Structure 1
Amino acid sequence: MSRDPIAPRVLIAAMLKWYLHHTAKAFEQRDALAGYWVSNANITGVGNYRRIWPYHLLKKPFYHLPFVQLEEWTRWLFLPAYDAWLSRQAIPSACNVVMGPMGSCIPLFDLADRQERGILKVFDAPNSHPRLHAELWRRECGEFMPGYEVPFPDWVVERISREIEQADLILCPSDFVKESMVAQGVPPAKCHVRHFGVDTSIFKPREAVPESPVFVSVGSVCLRKGHQYLFRAFAKLRETFPHARLICIGGIRPDFDQEWPLWRDLIEHHPFLPQPRIAEILQGATAFVLPSVEEGFARVLSEAMAAGLPLIATHESGATTVVRNQVEGIIIPSRDIRALQDAMLLLAKDQALNRSMGEAALKAGALRNTWQDYGDNLLEGISQAMAAKS
């Protein structure tokens, strides 16, 4: 990217890395990374990296303890340490853009506002608007985990809402996320939609549709991702295909504690697998299934498409950003067990349809969709926002 007056030089700061190491590396490849400050990652291959030690040292025990809910709550409770560290930093002189994910932006944006050079403020949204995020999560808990306190308190919802209001640009990984922002009064022009990339060196297309149905779902087993509906639909599918398999990869979240004992003997569960092993499993699958009730854009959607799998997913999973119903997969209404069962049944029975959808998914998912493609697209959107602001 040429160096001109509005070429982005981005400082990324985050309490947790999520997918931002991919973004940082992509920006650095274009000489557009002014800094990468994060707490929970030892980063190699990224320059201008600094670890946010106070927050990291407070959080570190909770990454390893077997009490997942404590990790979720302390994510927010330790924010004062993150805020205090960040507020004492100096923004690099070359920086003209600051960027952070939900919960990480208040001190970062305040730093930017104190500068005299008109720094663009970018909010990276890994989920839907926090008010909708909280509403949908609490609704599911009320039905499937009564009495459970969602680790997403009201003060966090309001903090993130303020970050969104303060931002000049919101990066939305899906159409669903943009819609949730606009519904809360965010101007559509403030939103830039681009789904996440994929490492195409790991995820390769399958060679054939398996004879016996194998469905795969990757991601934390939790109420937000709709596993309570997936497991009920799969139990009904087994009445037609008694040897069908459902492989779930991801840890069990605390909000699923009441549901999991009902289904654990039906599911092949792996709490964690390295990405090369996940890629192998996807290559042997009938379809990928993700019936989320709330999501930003599940990164594994791109991975499954790169493996040439048809997708069965909801609009809320983010899939409709890249998947056309009945072309690359089947889009189902959220919380609809019968629709989910019927979609799984169709792709298990009709191998020709399965194959054609998988081939279409591969074309849509692997075409200009590396993490570098993702980063380049963000830089284009940021450049346009800078030009509009100047």
Structure 2
Amino acid sequence: MNMCFVTHKVRKGDGQGRVNYEVILEALRQGHYVYIIASELSDELAQHERVIWKKIAVEGWPTELLRNQIFAIRASLWLTILRNRIDLTIVNGFTAYVRSDINCIHFVHSAWLRSKYHPIVERKSLSSFYQYIYTRLNRSLERMAMKRTRTIVAVSEQVKHELKGDAHIEGNRIAVIRNGVDLEEFYPRHVDRRELHLSEQQLYAMFAGDLRSSRKNLDTVLKALVSVPEIHLLVLGNTKGSLYPQMAADLGLGERVQFLGYRTDMATWMSAADLFVFPSRYEPFALVLLEAMAVGLPVVASSNCGAVELLTNKAAIIINDPDDSDALADALLRCAADRRQLKQMGEEARRLACQHSWSAMAAQYLQLIQETALHKAVPLPES
């Protein structure tokens, strides 16, 4: 089969890009030929003899809004040129103006626009107005793209619920395939904390995410930490332009919170921690939660993260309101009170994560691709 993937990135180190990478790798293992329309492609795939890459360069355009439009226009032109060579087309959200066979949804702009946590609700500024315009336009374009596809993949039941309720997509058109995790990179291991300049006796929680975004909700973690002196916090993420280092200092947490910056050795730092805290205000999946589980970390998270569907109360403490710093502090105190139970929770988290390898996820995608190809003879309804 000749299949075509239309997406911005296909590489490790990127959530959606990693999903594309693993699915394409599995397609190649099964002997298929793959056309890739993307701006970025990993070297090993670019050099594969059965990969044809049509690169769309978008650097130089000043905003993501413009870059996405340029990408979609050029991708549509390539799909028109290649249509007689392609058996099946797989896209990610709005990436082209033409029809597709499978559309994989990792973020629902309709749901984000109505969220009380959208930046336009929290504050009125030039930046939040731009994000409002960006989200509103993508909501319309995303809905158009989903009307012009045969099958929709949601990365969680949460996303499926949002697609039905906010984007008005029929449930029978939606398949749920959750993201996977690299079990060879993220696994329980012993780390000598002294080499990382950490205390062997101290209890460490970890947070990882975009430190410029209030959506990830580090502010509530810092507020909760004030009431939990037993726990120190390791924060992974680029601090450039972030308000959180100053916030930690203002709360008197300067000695208990370590901002480690962007790290490529995340699995090592996760292995040095005792638990993972991630009360995101809105997260369609949250791959980082699954990675923490795979390392063997118990999780404290909000119910707004799609990945909590994979967890049980034996592996995690889930809070309903991500802004409730008292509830989060109580959850952290419960973790600090019983290290033996914390260890058992981590073991259960690892067991659950092992059910969601990248290879298992990719196999589900390829089965769906094959089923969709068999039914492609049925014409799509006119939009």
TM-score tier (shorter): 0.7 to 0.9
Distance 1:130 1:160 in 2: 8
Aligned to 1:24: 24
Aligned to 1:3: none
Gap regions ≥5 residues in structure 1:
1-7, 60-69, 113-120
CA contact (8 A) 2:26 2:366 kept: no
The alpha carbon displacement at 1:309 in A equals 1.0
SS at match of 2:186: coil
The alpha carbon displacement at 1:323 in A equals 0.7
The counterpart of 1:373, out of the listed 337, 360, 369, is 360
Residue pairs, 1:75-224, within 5 angstroms: 75-89=64-78, 90-91=81-82, 93=84, 95-107=86-98, 109=99, 112=100, 121-127=101-107, 129-136=108-115, 139=118, 142-143=121-122, 145-147=123-125, 148-149=127-128, 150-151=130-131, 152-184=134-166, 185-206=168-189, 211-221=201-211, 222-224=213-215
The counterpart of 2:300, out of the listed 300, 305, 312, is 312
CA-atom RMSD, angstroms?
2.6
Aligned to 1:11: 4
The alpha carbon displacement at 1:10 in A equals 2.9
CA contact (8 A) 1:130 1:161 kept: no
Residue pairs, 1:312-351, within 5 angstroms: 312-324=300-312, 326-333=313-320, 334-351=322-339
TM-score (normalizing by structure 1): 0.80
1:263 aligns with 2:248: yes
Distance 1:174 1:168 in 2: 19
Distance 2:207 2:340 in 1: 22
SS at match of 1:198: coil
Distance 1:193 1:33 in 2: 25
Distance 1:166 1:247 in 2: 44
SS at match of 2:227: helix
The alpha carbon displacement at 1:34 in A equals 2.3
CA contact (8 A) 2:71 2:96 kept: no
Q: Tell me the number of residue pairs that the alignment of Structure 1 and Structure 2 aligns.
A: 346
SS at match of 1:106: coil
Over residues 82-133 of structure 1, what are the superposed CA-to-partner deviations in whole Å (9 max), with x where a residue is unaligned?
Answer: 23322322336553321122331324x2xx5xxxxxxxx2111122x21111
Distance 2:214 2:75 in 1: 33
The alpha carbon displacement at 1:280 in A equals 1.1
Aligned to 1:361: 349
- Kindly provide the amino acid, as one letter, of the partner of residue 109 in structure 2: P
Distance 2:170 2:116 in 1: 25
- Kindly provide the amino acid, as one letter, of the partner of residue 317 in structure 2: I
SS at match of 1:44: helix
Aligned to 1:235: 226
- Kindly provide the amino acid, as one letter, of the partner of residue 50 in structure 1: W
Distance 1:106 1:130 in 2: 17
Over residues 312-333 of structure 1, what are the superposed CA-to-partner deviations in whole Å (9 max), with x where a residue is unaligned?
Answer: 1122211222112x12211111
Aligned to 1:64: none
The alpha carbon displacement at 1:253 in A equals 7.9
Q: Rate the CA distance shift 1:339–1:387 in 2: closer, same or farther, 3 A.
A: farther
Aligned to 1:273: 263
SS at match of 2:301: strand
SS at match of 2:207: strand
- Kindly provide the amino acid, as one letter, of the partner of residue 104 in structure 2: D
Over residues 266-299 of structure 1, what are the superposed CA-to-partner deviations in whole Å (9 max), with x where a residue is unaligned?
Answer: 531233111xx21111112111111111112111
SS at match of 1:293: coil
Of all paired residues, the percent bearing the same amino acid is 18
- Kindly provide the amino acid, as one letter, of the partner of residue 282 in structure 1: M
Q: Rate the CA distance shift 1:138–1:16 in 2: closer, same or farther, 3 A.
A: farther
Q: Rate the CA distance shift 1:95–1:213 in 2: closer, same or farther, 3 A.
A: same
Aligned to 2:14: none
Q: Rate the CA distance shift 1:217–1:23 in 2: closer, same or farther, 3 A.
A: farther
Name which of structure 1's ranges 327-336 and 41-50 shifts more when overlaid on structure 2: 41-50
Distance 2:374 2:164 in 1: 22
The counterpart of 1:58, out of the listed 57, 60, 72, is 60
Distance 1:332 1:9 in 2: 45
Q: Rate the CA distance shift 1:106–1:340 in 2: closer, same or farther, 3 A.
A: farther
CA contact (8 A) 1:52 1:82 kept: no
The alpha carbon displacement at 1:358 in A equals 0.9
SS at match of 1:98: strand
CA contact (8 A) 1:35 1:92 kept: no
Aligned to 2:282: 294
Gap regions ≥5 residues in structure 2:
11-16, 194-199, 379-383
The alpha carbon displacement at 1:183 in A equals 0.9
